[in-house]
Chain A
Amino acid sequence: MAGLGAGGSGHQDRNPDEACGVLAAVVDRPLDETELVERARRGDLRAWETIVRTHQGIAFRTAYVLAGNAADAEEAAQDGLVKAYGALGRFRRGAPLRPWLLRIVSNEARNRRRSAARRERLSLRAAAEARPGDAVPSPEAALLSREEHERLLAAVERLSEDHRDAIACRFFLDLSEDETAAALNVRRGTVKSRLSRALERLREELEAEL
């Protein structure tokens, strides 16, 4: 999985030759998100482009775990980011942007969630695909670790949709509880209770298999 919120390279993606909009102000320092939002509110598309680059990755991955397939997720993330631009006037100044964006994108994703049959099951990466910098485990350790991951993933897949979504957002995507609440369009307390029940269920399942 790609790194969190690493859907784009953010500020360094700007064209330093541009002399208007956002770009004129970044000679000395990168604009922070609040400034970018303010500029986007005023119709500065470069500012919105920077925001899109920054958040599109997590927006797509959140949409993927909720919509259940890549095509719907891409469409949901795209439409959500377009709608969010149109809704900027209603974004509360000073509030964190990412949960707000995730809420809009996730809503698009849930609207596209089709039948369970069309949902792509989450799977593990190929065993040989080690990430750069990973220590190389022994073949036995790698096998045990993979089996454990597969068992855990299968148990997650057997959870109810609400519980699986909560686990996926909170742990697989490493969203905060507030971001998970925004993505699932529920209160933070509901996220806590769903996670608590889902973890309890997973523990029971895993212990029963031993």
Chain B
Amino acid sequence: MTSLELRLLALGHELELPADPDLTAAVLEQLPPSGKRPFPWRRAGALAFALVAIAVATAFAVPQARTAILRFFHVGGATVVRVETLPPAVERNEAGGLGLPMSLQAAERAVGFHILLPPYKCCGPGRVYVLDDSMATVVVRSGGNHRALLSEFPSLGPPSLKKLVLGQTRVEPAHVNGREALWIEGGSHTLRYFDRELGLQERTVRVHGKVLIWLRGELTLRLEGNLTKDDALSLARSTR
């Protein structure tokens, strides 16, 4: 170590830092009862996750409301939040910012789950984009031949779907094969990706398409594109 580095170490010992608080009780109070961890994973350690929070554009949606966050909706690992203004975000073209492209087999090894796909006429997707070994995304085509992005990631906890409010951006409940779903249409919204270590925001991107979010097994699926609701639901129901 150089003399300057030794001086910095010595300086560290002379700093006036606040006394260390005892956080034990406060931390334990927030944990579930013994024996239950908040996010029980059947395949512990094998699955990474990506929590996708979708902030729906509602700058003009409920004018009388002045709270920063107006409403939450949850489906599996996705959370939809109504806000007054959107955070700064970059525009995203179709497959930008979705992670590394790879083969389907490599993608399934990376994410640790079977990737659900709609029927393909011949061979499967040429490539799958994998973000953080947590979320897999493929480009699919609807019955109306519109391209769309299908993203899949493990659900975080029990699904919940709360009462919805109307705004310029419509957030409607729906069902796919008997499971809860959300249809989001109108206005732009942003996507926030978080990495597997919890809470680390990777990026915020602006999305203009329509979105369907639904559950299948332990996965949350998200379809994004310029689709009609019927097209999206039909595509969602066909994924296997």
Using a CB–CB distance below 8 Å, which chain A residues touch chain B?
1-2, 7-8, 21, 41-45, 48-49, 52-53, 56-57, 59-61, 64, 70, 73-74, 77-78, 81-93, 100, 103-104, 107-108, 111, 122-126, 131, 148-149, 152-153, 156, 167, 171-174, 185, 199, 202-203, 206
Contact = CB atoms under 8 A, between A and B. Distances in A.
A60 B11 CA distance: 19
B4 A185 contact: no
A124 B14 contact: yes
A85 B198 contact: no
A199 B22 CA distance: 34
A21 B34 contact: yes
Contacts of A85: 27, 31, 37-38
A156 B9 CA distance: 13
Contacts, number: 152
A60 B37 contact: no
Nearest to A74: B21
A52 B24 contact: yes
Most A C-beta atoms less than 10 A away, residue of B8, B22, B197: B8
Given A41-B37, A43-B37, A104 B13 contact: no
Interface string B1-20: 01011011111111111111
Contact of A93 (B16, B32, B45): B45
Interface of B: 2, 4-5, 7-24, 26-28, 30-32, 34-41, 44-45, 47-49, 196-200
B31 A124 contact: no
Contact of B36 (A43, A100, A167): A43
B202 to A, nearest CB: 11
A125 B45 CA distance: 44
Contacts of A100: 197
A56 B16 contact: no
The A interface, classified by DSSP as helix, strand, loop or mixed, is helix
Contacts of B198: 83-84, 86-87, 104, 107
B37 A123 contact: no
Contact of B20 (A56, A86, A93, A156): A56
A64 B21 contact: no
A74 B39 contact: no
Contact of A92 (B11, B26, B45): B45
B15 A124 contact: yes
A147 to B, nearest CB: 12
A205 to B, nearest CB: 11
Closest 5 CB pairs of A and B: A172-B12, A171-B8, A43-B35, A86-B38, A70-B18
A111 B199 CA distance: 9
